[in-house]
A and B are shown apart, each in its own frame.
Chain A
C-alpha cells in the first residue's frame, strides 16, 4: 500500500475521519497503532512480529535503565539486538556471497547455502529510529517513555514507517504525548505537501525511470552521451523519488497533526559536499553524525582522525543503503570527495573568488558521478559506464527532451527559491498556478504504471 496508489487513498479516507474523531480521546494512540500495524501488515503480516519485537525490546531496555541506572550493558543489548536484526535480514545474503567468493578463491570446495532471507520493508528506518531512542535515553537527552503503546506508535507511525524520515524521540514522542491539534491550515499544508510529493514521484521520478532503466539495464549497448544523460536523469530521479516520498509522508502526518522533520532541502543547490549532506536525507545524515561520527571522535582528534572518522561514517552510510559493494564504494567516493574538497573549501580563494554557481555545479557534477555506483547493478557495470563515458562515441542518446525540460524547470525553480526572486514564487497567483499545473500534469501526463519507491529496498 504505497502512498501514490488509490488503495492508500481509500485506506486514508477510511482511517482519517475516525482518527479525527478519536484524536481528543485516550483511544487515539490505540487507533494510530492499529492503523499503523495494519498498514505495515498489508506488505506482509509477518513483519509485525519483527517490529513488535524491536519496539518491546527497546522499550524494556530503557525501562530497565530507568530503574537500574544508565549502564552500558543495557545500551549494548539494545544496539546489538538492533544491529543483529539489521545484519540478519539485510546483510546475510551479502555476507554469504562474499564468504563463498573467499572460500572459492582459497580453493575450498565448500559452499555456504544461500540464506534466502528477504528484507522487511522499512526495517532499516525503524531500527535506526528505535535505536536512537535508547542511545538518547542513555545520554540523558530524552525522558523515558512510560507507555508501551505510545512507544510502539512512535516506532511504527505509518506515514514515516516505510522510508522515514528517521525521527528523533525528542521530536516525535512529545507530539504523540499531547493531544494533537489539527487546524484547517494543517490539513491544507498536508494536502499541499502531499500533492507536491505525488508530482515529484509520479510525474517526475517514474518518468525519468523509463529512460534510466533502459540505459542502465544494458550499459554496454550505449555510448557516452546516453550514459551521461542517464546518469544525469538518475541523479534527479532518485531525488524526486525519495523527496517525493518524504513530502507525502510529511503531508499525511501533518494532516494528522504531526510535524515530521524536513528530509530534503534542495540538495542540488549545495555549494560544498558537506552542505550537500546537510540537505540530502537530512534525518539519516544527522543520525550518522550524532550516533557514529561524533562517538568515533568527530573532528576533535586531529586531521587524520577526522578524515578516518569521516571515511568510516560514509562507508557505513553506504552500507546502510544496501548490501552490495557498489553502495560501499559510493560511500567511499563521497568520503574521498569530502577529503579533497574540505581543504579546498577552507582556502580564501575558493571562499571569496569562486562564484557560487561554479561551486554548485562542481558539487552537482561530483554527486552525479557518485550516483553511478549507487545505480549500477554491479561494480562491473559501474566500471563499464565510467569507461564508456570517456571512451565511446557520441551516438544519438535519444533522451526525451520533455524529461530534460522538466528537470531544468524544477532546477530553475529551486535556484529562484534560494535567490532574491523568491518573492515571485511566494505570490498567491503563482502558488495557485503551480498547483494547478502540477495536478493537470498528473492527470494528463503521468505514467500509467506505478513504480515502487527506490528507498523501500533499503
Chain B
C-alpha cells in the first residue's frame, strides 16, 4: 500500500489491476492513535457534561416536590431527583398519576398528607404521570437504581387491569404512555408495534446516559423537540440562547378541573376486567415488587382505593375477587400491603384519582394501619437525614 500524503488522495491497493482509488474528498482522515485521542476526549465530555450541568441547573426540591408535569418523560431528571430524594427522605412513594396527584396541587398529594399528618419529613413523591405498571417497572429498573435500602410505598392502580386495552393486550396497535420504558422484546406486549430498528434504538438510548441527558435538554430547553426541529419553529433564534438552566416548578401546568369525567353516570359503567393470571400489568407490577426487594428495599403496597361508586354490580364483584387474588399473592410473598376501603364518592375525581381530601383520608387510614406504623413510619417521626 502506498500513500502520497496524509489524506491519501491517491491510495492504491496491492491488486494486480493497479487501480488507484482516491481516499476521499476531505482531510478528516485519522489514524488509530488520533481516533483514540478523539474517543478519550469525547468520553470525558460525555461523562462530565451531565455532572457540570447538574451544578448549573439547580434542583432544590422542597418536601412536596414532584417531577413537573411537562417533564414526565424526562427520565434523566427523574433519575436525578431519585438520587436526591433517596439521600434526603426515608420513604419514597412510587406510582402513576394517582401518587403524583394529577388533579391536585403539590401540597395536596398523598406524600404531603402523610408528612403532614405524621408530623414528619419522611415521605417523598416519586410518582410520575402516566406510568402504568409496565412503564413503572422500566422507570425503576433503568432510572431508579438509587432506590435501595429504603422504604418504598408502591401504589397499585387497578385501573390498568380494567380492560384489555389498559392491560396492553389488544392485538391492534394503540399508543400508550412511556413506550420507551416498557420491555422492547420480552415479554411481548401485543399492542406495542414499534419496528425492530426503533426498539433497538430505544434500548441503546436507554442504556447510554448521555442520550438521556440529551433528551432532558430537548424537553427543558427546546419544548420537547430535537434541536433541528426547534430551529424550524424558531429560525432566527440561537439554540444556545434557549438554554436557561431553569427547571419548571412542580405545579407549572394547567391542572384539570376537579370534576368527574363525563360518562354514563355513577353505578352504571361495566368494566371488562382482565384475568389477573393473564394480566400483563399485574405481571409487571409483580416484577416491580421483586426488583425493589432485590435492591434491599422494604416494599409496602398500597392497592387503590378504586372508585367503586362508578361501576355496576358485576364489575364490583369481579374487582372483589381480584382483590382477594392480589391479597393472596402479596401474603404468599410476604409483601406488606394495605387495601383501603373505597372512599366516599365526593372524594373522587374519576375512577382512581382522589381529590385532596381523598388523599388526606388515605393518609389517615395508612397512619392508622398497624403494619404501616410498625414497618414504614419512622419511630422518631423525623426525616432520615
Contact = CB atoms under 8 A, between A and B. Distances in A.
B1 interface: yes
Interface string B184-203: 00000000000011001101
Contacts of A266: 25
A261 B21 contact: yes
Q: For B30, B37, B201, which residue has the most chain A Cβ atoms within 10 angstroms? A: B30
B15 interface: yes
B21 A262 contact: yes
Contact of A425 (B19, B21, B27): B27
B35 A170 contact: no
B204 interface: yes
Interface stretch (B67-75, B226-234, B244-252, B369-377): B226-234
Interface in A242-280: 247, 250, 259-262, 264-266
B6 interface: yes
B27 A417 contact: yes
Interface residues of A, number: 66
Contacts of B19: 170-171, 174
Interface in A150-194: 170-171, 174-175, 178, 181, 183-185, 187-189, 191-193
A109 B226 CA distance: 52
B228 to A, nearest CB: 4
B32 A184 contact: yes
Given A174-B17, A175-B13, A260-B21, A6 B27 contact: no
B229 A413 contact: no
Contacts of A260: 21
Interface stretch (A69-77, A111-119, A345-353, A431-439): A431-439
A401 interface: yes
B48 to A, nearest CB: 13
A171 B226 CA distance: 42
A402 B6 contact: no
Contacts of A440: 42, 45
B23 interface: yes
Contact of A448 (B7, B24, B200, B226): B226
Contacts of A207: 228
Contact of B25 (A185, A265, A401, A449): A265
A315 B34 CA distance: 45
Name the residue among B17, B41, B201, B211 with the largest chain A CB count within 10 angstroms: B17
A196 B28 contact: yes
Contacts of B46: 443
A434 B226 contact: no
B5 interface: yes
29 contacts: A5-B197, A5-B201, A6-B200, A10-B200, A171-B21, A174-B15, A175-B13, A185-B31, A188-B30, A188-B34, A192-B28, A196-B28, A207-B228, A259-B11, A259-B13, A400-B231, A400-B235, A401-B236, A417-B26, A425-B26, A428-B34, A431-B30, A432-B30, A432-B34, A432-B37, A436-B41, A440-B45, A445-B226, A447-B226
Given A5-B201, A188-B32, 17 more contacts: A6-B200, A7-B196, A181-B14, A187-B32, A188-B35, A189-B29, A191-B35, A250-B24, A262-B24, A400-B235, A426-B5, A428-B34, A431-B28, A432-B37, A440-B42, A444-B227, A445-B226
